[in-house]
Amino acid sequence: MRSMNRVEGRDKVTGKARYAVEYPVEGAAYAMAVQATVARGEVESIGADEVLAMPGVLAVLSCENAPKLTPVPDGELAVFQSRTVSYRGQLVAAVVAETLDIAREAAARLEIRYRAEPPDLRMTADHPGLYDPGKVNPAFPSDTGRGDPDTAFGQAGVQIDETYTTPAEHNNPMEPHATIASWQGDVLTLHDSNQGVSAVRDTLAKIFDLDASNVRVISPHVGGGFGSKGTPRPNAVLTAMLARAAGRPVKLALTRQQMFALTGYRTPTIQRLRLGADATGRLTSISHDVVEQTSMVREFAEQTATPTRVMYQAPNRRTAHRLLRLNVPSPSWMRAPGETPGMWGLESALDELAVATGVDPVELRILNEPEQDPERDIPFSSRNLVACLREGAARFGWAGRDPAPGVRRRGRKLIGTGVASATYPAYRSPNKAIARRHPDGRFSVEIAAADIGTGARTTLTLIAAEALGTDPSKVSVEIGDSELPKASLAGGSSGTAGWGTAVHRACEALRSSPADEASADTTDEVKSQQKLSRHAFGAQFSEVEVDVDTGEVRVTRMLGVFAAGRIINPKTARSQFIGGMTMGLGMALMEETVLDEEFGDFLNHDLAQYHVPACADVRDIDAVWIEEDDPHLNPMGSKGIGEIGIVGAAASIANAVHHATGIRVRDLPITPPRLLDAF
């Protein structure tokens, strides 16, 4: 037995911790995926013979010789099951060889002929293919309404009617999507980089028509995911297929360029916001209409307008989502899906309302604080959001909207400040856990959770130690293996709440039992509280300087104040908040994946051209939280913190840019050319 906290940190720092394709596997071969070079059409032929004749090449797999797979709802996992090409970059073949260099060379030589057709690539607000998806991720109704928002808007003394857009954005975790697959008869073992080993096991068992007990997925360390590894991706299915075809273990790591097409991204959005208010800034009407895209092989509808259903009082309200199928890769989860782009639109529109009414942006948000939750006896948000705004204004030295835009200067640089609210639901899923007492006085806990760099092991250790009434150094936590008790994935800011509840209950049972082992299954507990509405809230403040000669924007100060339940581990919590805020800074100023509308390919598909914030971009950033006690949450009293940090961050920066320059940028990112064109 060993203490996981210090040892895990030491293993990562020294390089001893192994990630997916680093595991030593005897006799492993190497694979390289081949992607479609057309955006729409069919594969006519695969020239495999020449490649198979190359020394060291073991197998070529494609639609011409792939085994039949059992269909699952995610069409991206139907690898090589059809000759149809639905987007550029789709998997069309793969090569297995003795070495990675041989596999790479063979893949480059593989000749594939297509029958190409003109693709449909451009998302517009008036595209004839737009449709109502019925529900948006994960299962919200696509449209909601109350009152008569159109009439109320027409009668409002102050009207904001603007459109805000966000581009496609890619997750880009540090560790690429990677897998080692090996077969022993009908038993499949995967070392795979993912956010939930239980989900990967269950999905691959269905695809290969196996009993779940015949699939083992191992993933103790994951080098980031940000949502892109939340569901099984095609690389896991492909590697398993290749290992069976080659008759030996196979390693496959997608390249950074391949990840841009194969592992998901945040859909671009077109958001029309209509706010009606009286002269004091009190809202009478809110309408939020969203257009977004999905692929031809998988429907994914991001819940962009759902935060507008929670935020701010208005007797008349409508939200709507319309989806468009295009010849593009499939979008998926990216940190705080829905809330991130949706709050960019809503909080930008709120700032425009503040300017139009002359009401301070902080006071405007407090004036329109969210309504009483009908499922609870206490306001689920008012006290928390208002407290975050008040605390943030005091700590930041908020000076409102005076002086006017363009007045505050540092030499040739204009200075401005901005604010935005943040919200994210507090989810919790059913989980199982086992706790054991050992003869030497130590304890161990087992749960198939995932640590994607968030410090999950440390947090679960603290939860277990508290429930056991012992020192954390006496507790070890084992995670990242599908043979452990079934766990939900690391996503939706639900990990600590869901896993932690199971760990707490198992340890609680062990502490009160003479036995040396106890287990917990929280299914019934979680279901009994599903009707309660739970949300974390926050307020984000930014100061920017804008160079009038170059149009360059620098965020000089950034502060986030959050109400996210009980904070179990302050060090990792602050890191998560700041990480999310930094990602929001990237969203505001640089992140954008550009689609070539002639060829259907993402043009900037590597980190040399897809820009993310570096240390020099993050000058003075801090995150704090207010004390919150909600007995209805879970035994720890915690809410998720991994995603709320990014929500509102981009809007606070954009609002600060407007305060500095008087220029309202409604299309992200805020690049120097966009500002220079407006100066």
Q: Is 371 a catalytic residue?
A: no
SS3 338: coil
3-class secondary structure per residue, 343-376: HHHHHHHHHHHHHHHCCCHHHHHHHCCCCCCCCC
Nearest of 353, 252, 288, 352 to residue 136 by alpha carbon: 288
DSSP string computed for 538-561: EEEEEEEEEETTT--EEEEEEEEE
SS3 434: strand
Strands across the sheet with 187-192, in order? 57-62, 91-97, 29-35, 250-253, 178-184, 187-192, 215-218
8 A C-beta contact, residue 252 and residue 96: no
- The enclosing H or E element of 615 equals none
SS3 80: coil
> Residue 94: beta bridge partners?
33, 61
8 A C-beta contact, residue 110 and residue 46: yes
Helices within 326-446 (DSSP H only): 339-357, 361-367, 382-396
Helices within 490-643 (DSSP H only): 495-511, 523-528, 570-589
CA distance 316 to 297: 37
Nearest of 261, 186, 223, 206 to residue 35 by alpha carbon: 261
CB atoms within 10 A of CB 175: 19
8 A C-beta contact, residue 239 and residue 33: no
The two three-digit tokens of residue 204, written as one number: 């691959």
Q: Which amino acid is at 444?
A: S
8 A C-beta contact, residue 30 and residue 97: yes
Distances (CA, A) of 307 to 10, 61, 343, 421, 618: 40, 44, 7, 11, 27
Which of these is catalytic: 175, 543, 592, 643?
643
Half-sphere exposure of 206 (CA within 13 A, CB side): 12
- The enclosing H or E element of 457 equals helix 456-468
CA distance 333 to 138: 10
Catalytic positions are 643
